[in-house]
Amino acid sequence: MKRSASIFNKEINYNVLVFFIAVYFGLVLNIPLWRTFYEILSKIEVVNTGFVISLPIFIIAALNIIFQIFAWPCLGRVFFSVLTLISAITAYASYQYGIIFDYGMMENIFETNTGEALSYFSLSGVITVFFIGVIPCFIILFIKTKKQSFVKDFVIYKLISIIVSIIVIVLIAMFFYKDYASVGRNNKYLNRVINPSYVYTGIKYLDRNYFTKPIAYQKIGTDAKLVPTATSNGKPTLFVFVLGETARSQNYQANGYSRPTNQYTQPYNMISFKNVTSCGTATAVSVPCMFSAMNRSNYNKAIAYNQDTFIDILHRAGISMLWKENDGGDKGAGDRVREITLKHGTENPLCDGESCLDMALLDNFEQQVAEMKGNKFITLHIMGSHGPTYYKRYPKDHTFFKPDCQRADIENCTTEQIINSYDNTILYTDYMISQLIQKLQSYSDKYNTALFYISDHGESLGEDGLYLHGTPYSLAPEYQTTVPMMMWFSKSFTQDRGLNLTCLENIANNAKRGDYSQDNVFSSMLGIMDVKTSVYKPQQDIFRQCRTN
């Protein structure tokens, strides 16, 4: 008793107490996280020892920054006591039941009745929470802290603690960024395992469900009409829009890359726009953005998900629409038209149970075209170059660039292997597009056929120490924000639209960064499909100045 009492009699600097709380969270209340890391790293053949040692240091430093920001006199002790108790419960639930406290789990928690909630607790659970939650709460509440002047001691010590933690994180990033990027990209759920990340998802749930006014769905382009040009040959249109994934313009032979990554489409003389920029550095931003009437400068996700896209407007004008999905979802862009999502079952030789090669999108193409009426617009959302498992995006007989990286933990591959694997994905996409063009050519007697391809965002392959994508746009390198934009038109299509390909090719070849972006997609699709509407912006239509009608 005397020893326990002495703990509460000792005085400690308040900011040091907060640091110890961060250490406790990092080492004890994140045991489920360390178990998860162990499971992940045990599957990797070669693990960087320095990276492993840095993990708890990184987590503690990050938690210390956050905790120091919220640590203020009076309410600080109560805040951390409640946080510790709840975190002890979530730590037990995560360790015992493998629960991840993401947004979906928060919905379950807030909608679960008391009986169901209590069913998760047992005597061992109560005892565990008592030792790792209740006892630390008492220590936080009753341990004495030194009297400090607010500015001279309290604020200065707080700033020093935060700055030191930032320096530690920067140093870790300098030495082990590749390892963190690889492990994080292969295991996207990790950020939801960190305790107390549930605070963020909990606030997000409460905000969306109790404090945010729902946005009413807005129809735009309600005046859309299909107005054929004066040169119309009377044939219906068959237009295929290929939505790429993680392809960067710099690795396209058509844009000056030294390797033959476009050897399959070269015979078809596709027009390739150089220096096209993306709306975001992640699919969740770029896809809804480019399909919406908004630009990158005024993009709003909530509005994009509750407003017509150019897909909806084309459909309203009477064009038959189909969306085929092979990349985890249309991000709301194709919600209101017919959609086919590829099944990953191994009964299809192009699928491995987890994903499908993009050539699977061409299965039953002829049948699906036949089922559509009139003018047809088909969107193919491909897996493209989605990483870090680049090697899963192309079959073995399409391994043109060798040696490639045949593993998910790219940190254990050389830069040469990573680039080879990535270039193989670009080449396989090129192959798929060439096969699609051949199919469109076979329809030339019945349809005016065309194909348009653009990627959602680019990718970093080790330049400046960066890998993958998702870097904040203002900090992202051009490798992540410059995307390929290529197109092919049949002879009858160009005649029907009065489209001068020489003019278009000159514009494409001379395009400078900033001239064209995904902002141009919305009006360009409306324009090339001859749909007239008040939401069409002629200045953003890349085809307009090269049409004779």
One domain for residues 181 and 254: no
One domain for residues 273 and 417: yes
Token readout for 200 is 């963020």
One domain for residues 269 and 367: yes
Residue 225 falls within a domain, yes or no? no
pLDDT band at 423 (very low <50, low <70, confident <90, very high): very high
Residue 214 DSSP code: P
Cβ(524)–Cβ(543) below 8 Å? yes
- Which of 20-34, 69-83, 115-129, 188-202 ranks highest by mean pLDDT? 20-34
Rounded Cα gap, residues 303 and 309, in angstroms = 11
Whether 89 shows a pLDDT value over 60: the answer reads: yes
pLDDT (0 to 100) of residue 201: 87
Partnered with residue 483 across adjacent β-strands are: 276
Rounded Cα gap, residues 443 and 366, in angstroms = 10
One domain for residues 205 and 276: no
Point out the domain boundary residue: 211, 229, 257: 211
Residue 446 falls within a domain, yes or no? yes
What does DSSP say about strands 144-145 and 482-489: parallel, antiparallel, or unpaired? unpaired
pLDDT (0 to 100) of residue 115: 40
Residue 230 falls within a domain, yes or no? no
Cβ(296)–Cβ(520) below 8 Å? no
One domain for residues 22 and 157: yes
Token readout for 68 is 């120091």
pLDDT (0 to 100) of residue 118: 47
Pick from 18-22, 155-159, 393-397, 457-461: least confident: 155-159
Percent pLDDT > 90 in the chain is 67
What does DSSP say about strands 339-341 and 320-325: parallel, antiparallel, or unpaired? parallel
Supply the CATH number for residue 278's domain: 3.40.720.10
One domain for residues 429 and 334: yes
Residue 408 DSSP code: S
- Which is more confident, 93 or 178? 178
Cβ(510)–Cβ(275) below 8 Å? no
Token readout for 230 is 């004066």
Pick from 37-51, 228-242, 313-327, 512-526: least confident: 228-242
Residue 49 falls within a domain, yes or no? yes
Q: What is the mean pLDDT of residues 124-151?
A: 87
Q: What is the mean pLDDT of residues 426-433?
A: 99
Cβ(177)–Cβ(462) below 8 Å? no
How many distinct helices (H) and strands (E) make up the chain? 21, 13
CA angle 337, 544, 478 (to 5 degrees): 75
Rounded Cα gap, residues 427 and 397, in angstroms = 12
pLDDT (0 to 100) of residue 94: 82
One domain for residues 467 and 406: yes
Is the whole model's pTM more than 0.85, yes or no? no
What does DSSP say about strands 11-12 and 467-468: parallel, antiparallel, or unpaired? unpaired
Cα-based distances in Å from 317 to 12, 123, 201, 234, 244: 71, 64, 40, 17, 26
Point out the domain boundary residue: 195, 211, 227: 211
pLDDT (0 to 100) of residue 116: 40
Residue 232 falls within a domain, yes or no? no
Question: At a CB cut-off of 8 Å and minimum separation 6, what does 238 contact?
Answer: 369, 375, 376, 378, 440, 443, 447, 448, 449, 450
One domain for residues 157 and 305: no
One domain for residues 207 and 247: no
Partnered with residue 11 across adjacent β-strands are: 144
One domain for residues 413 and 369: yes
Please report where in the chains the tokens 């209340």 appear, as a residue. 29
pLDDT band at 113 (very low <50, low <70, confident <90, very high): very low
Cβ(427)–Cβ(460) below 8 Å? no
pLDDT (0 to 100) of residue 503: 97
Whether 124 shows a pLDDT value over 80: the answer reads: no
Residue 227 falls within a domain, yes or no? no
Can you state the percent helix, strand and coil of the chain, rounding each to 5? 50, 10, 35
Domain carrying residue 453: 238-546
For the chain, give the mean pLDDT.
90
Cβ(7)–Cβ(139) below 8 Å? yes
pLDDT band at 318 (very low <50, low <70, confident <90, very high): very high
Whether 320 shows a pLDDT value over 60: the answer reads: yes
Whether 120 shows a pLDDT value over 90: the answer reads: no
One domain for residues 39 and 187: yes
Instruction: Render the burial of 120-159: b for 16+ CB within 10 Å, e for the rest.
Output: eeeeeeeebbeebbeebbebbeebebeebeeeeebeebbe
Condensed to tens digits (0 to 9), the pLDDT of residues 376-406 reads 999 999 999 998 899 999 999 999 999 999 9
Whether 506 shows a pLDDT value over 80: the answer reads: yes
Give the chain's domain count.
2
One domain for residues 198 and 245: no
CA angle 271, 248, 278 (to 5 degrees): 85
- Which is more confident, 5 or 116? 5
Residue 93 falls within a domain, yes or no? yes
Residue 330 falls within a domain, yes or no? yes
